[in-house]
Structure 1
Amino acid sequence: MTIQRIPFQEVPQLSSKDTAYATAKPELRPFFKYPVSIESFAQVIADKKQAEIDRELLVSVLKKQYEKLDPSPQVLEQIDRLSDPQTFTIVTAHQPSLFTGPLYYIYKIISTIHLARKLNDQYPDQHIVPVFITGGEDHDFEEMNHASIFGKEIVWENEESGSVAMMGTGSLAGALEQLKDILGSSPKAEEIGSLIEACYTRHEKYGMASVDLVNELFKSYGLIVLDMNNPELKKRFIPIMEKELFEQPSRGLIEATTQELEKVGFSQQAYPREINLFYLRDQIRERIVQEGDKFQVLNTDYTFTEAEMREELHQHPEHFSPNVVIRPLYQEYILPNLAYIGGGGEIAYWLERKTQFEHFGVNFPMLIRRNSVLWIDKGNAKKLDKLGLKVSDLFTETETLIKSYVKANAENELSLKEEKKQLHTIFNGIVEKIKEVDQTLVKTVKAEAANQMNSLQGLESRLLKAEKQRHEIELNQIRGIKDKLFPGNGLQERTDNFLNFYLRYGQDFFETLLAELDPLEEGFIVVVDE
């Protein structure tokens, strides 16, 4: 394997907003607390030590959760160590996508594990634990009910509503059968296929099945997986939920921040409501709104007076679900966390939260952009080499790359640039002569000049087309490589599933990534299997 890092600015598939934070644009500095560096963690640790974290509760909840799983000795040790005031976490999170969904789901996790290890080396007096939070309370079913494996999309068909985590696993049978057909019958395929099937069938609810799958894939690395849809954790979060319900400060704070962010080119990411909590029951996850002196759960018959709502919150905190606006507060309130690792979009909405965190007295973590990766398999690496293309060429738009390739490999000159220049000179001379004889003819001459220039342009296009036909095999190879490595003209990590690579490389796929995915090091990572 060879590893290359492409500067983010040279990857056109990434938006300027996506890379602004990762490349430390100075105009964003007011919107986060800590510079992204390993040295900055000394201050983050000192600040987080001041937070009142109920470690005993956290450990208790984790141990109960893992009674339903098969934890490794490393995971059990990590859970026990969370009791120690010198132990902290590094967190990433994602909704529970089917079969882990796109590759960046895996990259986020491995970036987090890598950073935790690096910090343990740098700060030996503390212990850092990698944590993955599964966002199972979301009800955006269409965003996570599919996976693309070897170019074939598997879709989980399900008629349930409400929280994704609370949906039953019985309806996954069809998706699991499709997965088995796609993976085939090789020993490695049967091994990973059986593991996935076991995780999705030994639990009644999808949320715990998703936790189980991540645990099975990464337990040997000491990763803790946490489902925060837990009554005891939500009971601990009551003080902030109560303020959000009855004082409703988040909307004003965040809107003021987003107005400032818009001045530096960042559009609003998440739109705060007056109340940023959902009401959660079986098959129901709906917004809470205040109408006069009543609290209404939209699209339901649930209505509460202020006194009834307070009682409901204190008696049943599990009925309340933080939305995207206060979910970051929830995890930072519960965990002894130092940093959050996320994609560009996630970082953008975290940048809207700093004053909100200050208002609630919760420490704002370091924000770190996750690693992005392009993995080039051996077959495509050989084709690139044979075509004489560089890795950086791959990030060019397909037709632009093809034109460059044809021009670079043409036996004859394809450009009529010099001829166009000569034609321009000739007609300029004609115009000067015409002016002295009949000014009214100037317009006619210029029109003729434009016609002649268009004719040359057409001839140039025909030359390029003819040359393309001579290189038809090579150009089809280029298109094939681009389709494989940039599915749908997008980044591989946003479409392909990890199984596309795990079936070929097995655990070495994770090991290679773990060695290279340092989120403190800037640049788009390209792994080339030679």
Structure 2
Amino acid sequence: MNVVQEQLSFAGPLAEVYINQFSAVELLYESDPSQSESWTERAVWLDQTEHTRVDRKALATRLREYNGRYNPDPAVGRAIGQLELPGTAVIVGGQQSGVFTGPLLVVYKAVTILKAAKAASDRLNRPVVPVFWIAGEDHDWDEVNHTYVLSQDLQVRRIRMHRGAMDRLPVSFTKVEAEAWDKAVSELEQLLPDSEHKAGIMELVRCCSEDADNLTAHFAKLIGALFGKHGLVLLDSSDPELRRLEMPVFERMIRQNDELESAYHETVRDMAGLGYEPSAEVAENGANLFYISERERLLLFKRNDRFEDRKGKVTFTADELLEELRKHPERFSNNVLTRPLMQDSLLPVLGSVLGPGEIAYWGLTRKAFQKLGLKMPLLLPRESFTVIDGTIQKHMKKYELSWNDVKDPEVFHRKRSAWLAAQERMQVDERFDEVVAAFGELYAPLLEELAGVESGLSRLGTVNRDKILDQIDYLRGKAKDAMEKIHETGLRHFDRIQLSLFPLNKPQERVYNLFDTLNRFGMDWIEDLLDIPYELTGKHRIIYL
């Protein structure tokens, strides 16, 4: 295995600048993780503010219960035992619970959390526990209900998970019937090519699907099976029992809601001054909290001293909302802007592993952290990879294609067309252009003569000319199709290269499912990922196998 760094632009300019030129955006972020003193200062601050966070013992008790059900490896138990002790910090990162873990980037985030925790522990000479924050409170079902694999006929195939009721509930509360699991697992089995690893992979998937009545449960079982032995602790952000521990934090968010809103709007203005647009909506009069009412997760706003959703389905005074919190904490959840605050209030967060889009919207939260007496943790870019197997490497070498050639769709199409043109027995475009030119030279004088006979004949002749040209173009297309068919094998090689590296014109890690990769390379491939040296900057790297 050879690992090479290649350039791949981030989702937005703010993340790029944060990583490469921190001083230009330090107004939006707390500290630069590339500086050693930032780590020491953060660790000292965590020690000094131990009393401000949720009680460690109560948190550890709940994490033991949750992980005992979904992620029971002894290494996880030891990690939770460490977390229970003062002085232990965490590296945390999160993601929604996707079908069969979702795209590869989810696995890369878990790998980065583990590597970053070990590196931080070595750096600070103190225990640092890796924690994966499952965003089970999110309710966007369409965002998480599918995954993709590359089929044997070179098609990017989608596997979609179906649910029963069409409620807008958090994903962790959305029921998935056994029939839906069976259908999705069957589709995965049919689409994955036969390999020496397939039977073991399908056994794992089926085992984790048993008794999983929602997507988060299945996700937790899979991530636990893959990473539990490395001590990765799982946390479901929608866990009702965890909500009870978070009640004091929600209470502060409600009592200081106007201050938080003001902080977000101030930061939007700061961003504008630096030349950036906010990557998350900062709504006017937004409470930045959700309330779960019956079968729907409702975003709250402030109107006339009341907390309401947009359509007025629920309405509370501040005191009524606080009373509801005390009675039903499980009905409350964070939005994208308050989730970082909750995470930092619950866990002793040394650093948070984030994708480029997350780094951008976290830039909105620094002043909000300060309003609650918190400090933004170190933000650590998620590692980013593209995997290129030996066959694809041979194809790229044969057709003289570089990474940059494939990355740019226009360049790739031009290279493909140039290769095809070089193989042609006849130069199709050149020959047809000659015919069209010769036809035009012969036909133009005829049209002039017809115009002298009768004007109507000239118009008829023009129509006739255009029809003939259309027929010539039709024949040109058929000739090209025939040439492509002759060179179908080579063109399939081009297609396979593009579909492997940039399916749907997106980076591989944002499309393909983990089990597509494990089916080719085996379960040890994850161990190989963990052996790749940690890259703090998150620069994109190519894994040549």
What TM bracket, shorter-length normalisation? 0.7 to 0.9
4+ residue runs over 6 A deviation: 468-473
Do structure 1's residue 357 and structure 2's residue 354 form an aligned pair?
no
Superposed CA deviations along residues 393-421 of structure 1, whole A, max 9, x for unmatched, are 332334456349949x979xx9xxxxxxx
Q: Distance in 1 between matches of 2:82 and 2:138?
A: 30
Secondary structure of 1:67's counterpart equals helix
Do structure 1's residue 92 and structure 2's residue 90 form an aligned pair?
no
1:130 maps to what in 2?
130
Shift of 1:186: 4.9
Secondary structure of 1:276's counterpart equals strand
Q: Distance in 1 between matches of 2:14 and 2:492?
A: 33
Q: In structure 1, which of residues 229, 246, 260 is the aligned counterpart of residue 270 of structure 2? A: 260
1:58 maps to what in 2?
59
Q: Distance in 1 between matches of 2:488 and 2:183?
A: 41
Q: Distance in 1 between matches of 2:83 and 2:122?
A: 18
Q: Distance in 1 between matches of 2:311 and 2:303?
A: 14
1:271 maps to what in 2?
281
TM alignment of 1:435-474, pairs within 5 A: none
1:49 maps to what in 2?
47
Secondary structure of 1:501's counterpart equals helix
1:153 maps to what in 2?
158
Q: Distance in 2 between matches of 1:301 and 1:522?
A: 43
TM-score scaled to structure 2, two decimals? 0.80
Superposed CA deviations along residues 182-221 of structure 1, whole A, max 9, x for unmatched, are 2366552232222222223323333223222211111111
Secondary structure of 2:26's counterpart equals helix
Q: Distance in 2 between matches of 1:511 and 1:36?
A: 26
User: What are structure 1's unaligned runs of at least 5 residues?
Assistant: 415-464
Do structure 1's residue 165 and structure 2's residue 172 form an aligned pair?
yes
Distance 1:492 1:257, change over 3 A: same
Q: Distance in 2 between matches of 1:289 and 1:12?
A: 36
CA contact (8 A) 1:163 1:283 kept: no
Q: Distance in 2 between matches of 1:169 and 1:3?
A: 40
Shift of 1:294: 4.1
Q: In structure 2, which of residues 174, 184, 188 is the aligned counterpart of residue 179 of structure 1? A: 188
2:20 maps to what in 1?
23
Shift of 1:62: 0.5
Q: Distance in 1 between matches of 2:422 and 2:262?
A: 61
Do structure 1's residue 366 and structure 2's residue 378 form an aligned pair?
yes
1:441 maps to what in 2?
none
2:497 maps to what in 1?
481
TM alignment of 1:382-397, pairs within 5 A: 382-397=394-409
2:477 maps to what in 1?
none
Deviates most, 283-292 or 335-344: 283-292
CA contact (8 A) 2:302 2:308 kept: yes
Superposed CA deviations along residues 71-92 of structure 1, whole A, max 9, x for unmatched, are 1111110011111112111011
Do structure 1's residue 346 and structure 2's residue 346 form an aligned pair?
no
CA contact (8 A) 1:244 1:276 kept: no
Do structure 1's residue 337 and structure 2's residue 364 form an aligned pair?
no
Q: Distance in 2 between matches of 1:205 and 1:484?
A: 31
Q: Distance in 1 between matches of 2:307 and 2:281?
A: 20
Secondary structure of 2:132's counterpart equals strand
Letter in 2 for 1:50: Q
Q: Distance in 2 between matches of 1:194 and 1:403?
A: 42
- How many residues matched? 471
Distance 1:303 1:521, change over 3 A: closer
Letter in 2 for 1:26: S
Superposed CA deviations along residues 256-308 of structure 1, whole A, max 9, x for unmatched, are 11222123332111223421111125532112334435443555754434433
TM alignment of 1:206-285, pairs within 5 A: 206-248=215-257, 249-273=259-283, 274-281=286-293, 283-285=295-297
Do structure 1's residue 527 and structure 2's residue 532 form an aligned pair?
no
Letter in 1 for 2:166: E
Distance 1:13 1:472, change over 3 A: farther
Letter in 2 for 1:160: M
User: What are structure 2's unaligned runs of at least 5 residues?
Assistant: 151-155, 428-479
Letter in 2 for 1:164: V
Shift of 1:245: 2.6
Q: Distance in 2 between matches of 1:525 and 1:334?
A: 33
Shift of 1:380: 0.3
Shift of 1:61: 0.9
CA contact (8 A) 1:38 1:520 kept: no
Q: Distance in 1 between matches of 2:2 and 2:41?
A: 35
1:37 maps to what in 2?
34
Q: Distance in 1 between matches of 2:316 and 2:417?
A: 68
Superposed CA RMSD: 2.8
Letter in 2 for 1:129: V
Deviates most, 93-102 or 304-313: 304-313
TM alignment of 1:289-328, pairs within 5 A: 289-297=301-309, 301-328=313-340
Q: Distance in 1 between matches of 2:71 and 2:142?
A: 30
Q: Distance in 2 between matches of 1:281 and 1:347?
A: 31
CA contact (8 A) 2:33 2:379 kept: yes
Secondary structure of 1:49's counterpart equals helix
1:74 maps to what in 2?
75
Q: Distance in 2 between matches of 1:476 and 1:38?
A: 48
CA contact (8 A) 1:89 1:129 kept: yes
Secondary structure of 1:287's counterpart equals strand
Secondary structure of 1:22's counterpart equals helix
Distance 1:50 1:282, change over 3 A: farther
Identity rate of aligned residues, in percent?
29
Secondary structure of 1:149's counterpart equals strand
Distance 1:173 1:167, change over 3 A: farther
CA contact (8 A) 1:398 1:479 kept: no
Letter in 2 for 1:166: F
2:468 maps to what in 1?
none
1:116 maps to what in 2?
117
2:205 maps to what in 1?
196
CA contact (8 A) 1:200 1:206 kept: no
Q: Distance in 1 between matches of 2:279 and 2:10?
A: 19
2:432 maps to what in 1?
none
Shift of 1:57: 1.3
Secondary structure of 2:107's counterpart equals helix
Distance 1:31 1:300, change over 3 A: closer
Q: Distance in 2 between matches of 1:400 and 1:499?
A: 28
Q: Distance in 1 between matches of 2:132 and 2:506?
A: 26
Secondary structure of 2:20's counterpart equals coil
Distance 1:207 1:385, change over 3 A: same
Secondary structure of 2:69's counterpart equals coil
Distance 1:47 1:204, change over 3 A: same
Q: Distance in 1 between matches of 2:35 and 2:60?
A: 27
Letter in 2 for 1:118: A
2:434 maps to what in 1?
none
CA contact (8 A) 1:406 1:471 kept: no
